[in-house]
Structure 1
Amino acid sequence: MSFDLEALKLADTYHFEGAVNDGSNDFAAKLYLSPEKITITIMGEKNDERNCDFGWGDIETLLFTDMNKTFILHDLCFCRGGSRVISQYPKYIGFFESVFEVGYLIFAPSGLYENDLVQSICIHSNKISEWVGNTNKQEEIIRAYNNNERLFDDHNKLDEFYIPLEETGILGVSYNLSMHHSSPDFSAGIIFPPSLIITFCVGHTSKEVMNDFFKLYALLAFFIGSDFIIEQIDLNMNSSHFGNKGTLYYPSKMYHPKYEQDYSTFPLGKDIRFDSLGLPPLPLTAFSKYYALPVIQSGYFLKYLKYKRLENSEERFLGYFRILESLCFNKKSYLNEELLEKLSNRIKPYLIKVFGDKKSVTSFLKGLPRYNNSKYNTQKCILDFYVKIPQQTSGRWKLYKRDISGICKLRNDITHANDYSINASELVEKEKFIEVLLVFSLFEKLDITLPITSEIIDRLSGYSSLIRYEA
């Protein structure tokens, strides 16, 4: 492998030969990286004084070095291994080999320590360029270059936008400027593709970085409308070594879109040069709202993306329904909660005396508040959300308010393995209906209003299957 390797590209395959340390001894290792999977093979001799403590179990974190290159490997899952005896006399010598599959890794072209912190994550993808579109800022960069202005000295000239994230950091889109000139190729000029970057107030550990990345990726994929191909993920490290740059590498093939959409569901639409679509701009406050959500609610965006990847329409339907049910949940009491609690405490001794079963009476009374708050069932909660959607949008759908009862019954029948009958096209319609309601609900969590979502919802993949076309 080249000594001058500075970063890892997710689409490329790599092979490194180096060493790992089990805390006491160094052992030879071979590291293989590909978009399909990452594996490391650890091997070496062992004797009475020298043994490998890794064993044949999973490993949480491992440091691998290859000359001047350093890798922090995470989530190692043991695949296979073997050992044999080389010599018994006069001294025992054995040989072992273990193979692990690696969840993800951080690479640095120079030294890196396990406790070094990640200060920022920068995502490079052609899809980001499409999502951003052609803006006036890009024209300003070209104009500044033609005027011989010092672009590298003023980063504000290379920023499309930045927005603060409360208690998290800063998020934005910035342009990566590079200049080139080659007289043999008759070429000179600049290139400045955009990237999405998040900078943290407080550095995050390498164990946290994958979750940090997926949280950012899930939001961007939600705006784009599907999984998208990422070329490279740069990390800025708070390292005591001379270099402080790293890259994140993980098996990316499983996240490639099956059917790549050539347009974004909700493009950025900020300061664009030519408005040919007539869409509302994406409110930048959506980013700060997303990072202010409770972990459970922000996690719904990643869950939605996971369900979109499923091949089976029935499984997607159930997955979308589960998230929608959680987002729309609302409770209302049959009776005043405070009065009910007081009455329960008063009659508890009498009930125990009558039934002679303190444990059952206590359990029964504990369940009363839960039942009392269940005046709104799932159907009622979804119905209440449906009627909030602008009628000029919902009025075009094949499914109506009256169909929600049947959809909830279908969900219960599938969940409880009851007998039911539905053809493939009807299932697709119901699945898309629930997905559309879910998308409206997720946008609402970002403080994007239902009327704004109505203006872009027809860009959702497969939305046409829900539309009623008049004869």
Structure 2
Amino acid sequence: MKWNIEQLKLGETYSFNVVVDSHGTKFSGKLNLSPERCTLIVSGETSQDRHADFTIGNVDHLLCWDVRTTFILLNLKIINYFGGMLDHHPKAIKAFEISYEIEYVICTHSHSNHNARFLGFELDSSLIALWVGETKTQHEIISKFNSGILFGNREAIPSEFEQNIDGLGSVVIGYAASMHFSTSEFSAGVRFPPKFTMMFDEYKTEIETIDLFNVLRDFLTVVIGRKISIQVIQLISAGSPVFRPTLYFSEPKFVSSENNYVMFPLGCNPVRNDFGLPEFPLTSINAYFNATSEVRTYFKKYVKYRTLENPEEQFLGYFRLLEKLTSQQDSFVDEGKLELLLTRSESFVARYFKNALATKDLFRRIRKANKSKLNTASCITRFMKELPTDLLVNLVLGKPDIVPICQFRNDLIHANRIELDENDVQIRAKFIEVLLIFALFKTIGIAPESLALIVPRMHGYDWIRNRPDSIITV
């Protein structure tokens, strides 16, 4: 059991003895939080003057607390229930124990959180620090500290950027500067870890806040090119509390085998740019949050497919997304002229075949078939024409391989007998993933010319890099 918890850190394990309220009647509980699972076990006795109203089913919202901390539990799923009679006389006494698995936990020091509202959240992440890199802003902070003016005036600590999001709020990367001094460690100076903050224009509920966090995390995962590990998520509420509420959820610790760099660095005020990489366009953040829910779902699904270990499943997932993002329509003949012809001839054809219903269905299919000039392979090939040739000529696969890749997709879907080793599948999956990255970033306004300098930094890109003795037709 831990006392005096100021904030919950993701990846840490906690156990609390808590009090759980059921319509004014209090029961004891055990709240266990770990990267593998979050659970609440509630137990107690009930009688005619002591009632419990714990639903034998899923629960959306539940409060519990220990000596000085309140926990808001969200999306609880029942995993075990026991109930039995202890005594019948002089009054009936029953015992129960109920166990829930919890999706999200909010830790707060406030005692009135039946309808908690938040104005934003702040992320503490070592990977976001890697994304920011070494900047002129950081050097400015150090210079001001050395000059004794960093904390000596009322000026705000310099930040890297602030980007407005239409209809939602803004995102900021700033620095939490603080002085430290330790005689035992012979150390003194200033710390200023970067913080990624999202602020809302209006209050959001717990679930709305968590949903926006997940939407942002999907975006950053795609941009950075790997799963975002976060140490602390602080929730911003009204006023300036000494201890901000923190969000906790279970997430198995992920050991990355990927290189210690990010795919698309922020590149904002860099001290140096040795590789000549483009600056990340901040306007794409606004474009992402104001895109359709369908577009954000594509980002979310891509993040999910990245975690799959089976290369065939990964390939199919990437292909489905690329197919949707590159889908186009073209007609065999002029739609207007065809519509005029069908309208004029429909009554004649119906009389000729003596079947008006069948004729109507036939003409509907003709209209649909006329728009199917482009198949999936044609759409993907058209999309590839938008991409820089300098990039495509350096890939082991190209436009001539699109039709065989589409056939390979069909063979996998229909479980046809094919002989391909795992390396071949991985190469095709990575090739489709590269095209998918171009298609995803196109939806938020990032030019393919900029991405051509970025995609070679993708994990596994070397699998599809063209060797000098290979010749690819583009």
TM bracket, shorter-chain basis: over 0.9
Residue 338 of structure 1 deviates from its aligned partner by 4.8
Contact conserved, 1:29 with 1:42, CA < 8 A, in 2?
yes
Contact conserved, 2:130 with 2:261, CA < 8 A, in 1?
yes
Distance verdict in 2 for CA 1:398–1:77, change over 3 Å: same
Aligned residues: 469
Contact conserved, 2:17 with 2:30, CA < 8 A, in 1?
yes
Distance verdict in 2 for CA 1:358–1:202, change over 3 Å: farther
Task: Name the aligned partner's letter for residue 429 of structure 1.
Answer: I
Q: Which residue of 1 aligns with 2:134?
A: 134
Residue 365 of structure 1 deviates from its aligned partner by 4.3
Contact conserved, 2:258 with 2:459, CA < 8 A, in 1?
no
Work out the CA distance in 1 between the residues paired with 2:459 and 2:418: 28
Deviations 1:91-121 (A, max 9, x none): 1110110111111121112324132212111
Q: Does 1:306 align with 2:304?
A: yes
Q: State the identity %.
A: 33
The 10-residue stretch of structure 1 (333-342 or 381-390) with the greater mean CA deviation from structure 2: 333-342
Work out the CA distance in 1 between the residues paired with 2:467 and 2:430: 16
Q: Which residue of 2 aligns with 1:462?
A: 460
Residue 158 of structure 1 deviates from its aligned partner by 2.9
Residue 357 of structure 1 deviates from its aligned partner by 5.6
- Aligned partner of residue 245 in structure 1, secondary structure: coil
How is 1:132-211 mapped onto 2 (pairs within 5 angstroms)?
132-151=132-151, 156-211=156-211
Q: Which residue of 1 aligns with 2:124?
A: 124
- Aligned partner of residue 270 in structure 1, secondary structure: coil
The 10-residue stretch of structure 1 (446-455 or 343-352) with the greater mean CA deviation from structure 2: 343-352
- Aligned partner of residue 157 in structure 1, secondary structure: coil
How is 1:12-51 mapped onto 2 (pairs within 5 angstroms)?
12-23=12-23, 25-51=25-51
Task: Name the aligned partner's letter for residue 430 of structure 2.
Answer: K
Contact conserved, 1:121 with 1:235, CA < 8 A, in 2?
yes
Work out the CA distance in 1 between the residues paired with 2:242 and 2:51: 34
Contact conserved, 1:158 with 1:176, CA < 8 A, in 2?
no
Residue 309 of structure 1 deviates from its aligned partner by 0.3
Residue 444 of structure 1 deviates from its aligned partner by 1.8
Residue 52 of structure 1 deviates from its aligned partner by 2.7
How is 1:19-418 mapped onto 2 (pairs within 5 angstroms)?
19-23=19-23, 25-151=25-151, 156-238=156-238, 245-253=244-252, 256-338=254-336, 340-341=338-339, 344=342, 347-349=345-347, 353=351, 360-418=358-416
- Aligned partner of residue 388 in structure 1, secondary structure: coil
Contact conserved, 1:121 with 1:236, CA < 8 A, in 2?
yes
Task: Name the aligned partner's letter for residue 163 of structure 2.
Answer: I
Contact conserved, 1:172 with 1:197, CA < 8 A, in 2?
yes
Contact conserved, 2:2 with 2:16, CA < 8 A, in 1?
no
Work out the CA distance in 2 between the residues paired with 1:67 and 1:362: 73
Residue 47 of structure 1 deviates from its aligned partner by 2.2
Residue 148 of structure 1 deviates from its aligned partner by 1.9
- Aligned partner of residue 160 in structure 2, secondary structure: strand
Across the aligned residues of Structure 1 and Structure 2, the Cα RMSD in angstroms comes to 2.3
Deviations 1:214-233 (A, max 9, x none): 11111111122111321111
Work out the CA distance in 1 between the residues paired with 2:362 and 2:90: 74
Task: Name the aligned partner's letter for residue 71 of structure 1.
Answer: F
Work out the CA distance in 2 between the residues paired with 1:344 and 1:152: 80
Contact conserved, 1:5 with 1:109, CA < 8 A, in 2?
no
Residue 68 of structure 1 deviates from its aligned partner by 2.3
Work out the CA distance in 2 between the residues paired with 1:129 and 1:221: 14
Contact conserved, 2:28 with 2:44, CA < 8 A, in 1?
yes
Distance verdict in 2 for CA 1:33–1:260, change over 3 Å: farther
Work out the CA distance in 1 between the residues paired with 2:50 and 2:347: 70
Deviations 1:398-422 (A, max 9, x none): 1121110000111111112223222
Deviations 1:134-181 (A, max 9, x none): 101001111111222254865643311111111111012111112122
Task: Name the aligned partner's letter for residue 87 of structure 1.
Answer: D
Distance verdict in 2 for CA 1:156–1:342, change over 3 Å: farther
Task: Name the aligned partner's letter for residue 122 of structure 2.
Answer: C
Deviations 1:244-283 (A, max 9, x none): 72111011226x2542430001111111112222211111
Gap regions ≥5 residues in structure 2: 470-474
Work out the CA distance in 2 between the residues paired with 1:69 and 1:358: 72
Distance verdict in 2 for CA 1:358–1:98, change over 3 Å: farther
- Aligned partner of residue 115 in structure 2, secondary structure: coil
Residue 51 of structure 1 deviates from its aligned partner by 3.5
Distance verdict in 2 for CA 1:326–1:231, change over 3 Å: same
Gap regions ≥5 residues in structure 1: none
Work out the CA distance in 1 between the residues paired with 2:350 and 2:47: 70
Work out the CA distance in 2 between the residues paired with 1:85 and 1:263: 61
Work out the CA distance in 2 between the residues paired with 1:358 and 1:61: 57
Work out the CA distance in 1 between the residues paired with 2:24 and 2:350: 64
- Aligned partner of residue 170 in structure 1, secondary structure: strand
Contact conserved, 1:176 with 1:195, CA < 8 A, in 2?
yes
Task: Name the aligned partner's letter for residue 281 of structure 2.
Answer: P
Distance verdict in 2 for CA 1:295–1:244, change over 3 Å: farther
Distance verdict in 2 for CA 1:87–1:327, change over 3 Å: same
Task: Name the aligned partner's letter for residue 173 of structure 2.
Answer: V
Task: Name the aligned partner's letter for residue 100 of structure 1.
Answer: Y
Work out the CA distance in 2 between the residues paired with 1:20 and 1:268: 45
Distance verdict in 2 for CA 1:415–1:457, change over 3 Å: same
Deviations 1:330-368 (A, max 9, x none): 112334445545555555555555556665555444444
Contact conserved, 1:39 with 1:101, CA < 8 A, in 2?
yes
Task: Name the aligned partner's letter for residue 399 of structure 2.
Answer: K
Contact conserved, 2:109 with 2:243, CA < 8 A, in 1?
no
Distance verdict in 2 for CA 1:459–1:97, change over 3 Å: same
Contact conserved, 1:116 with 1:238, CA < 8 A, in 2?
no
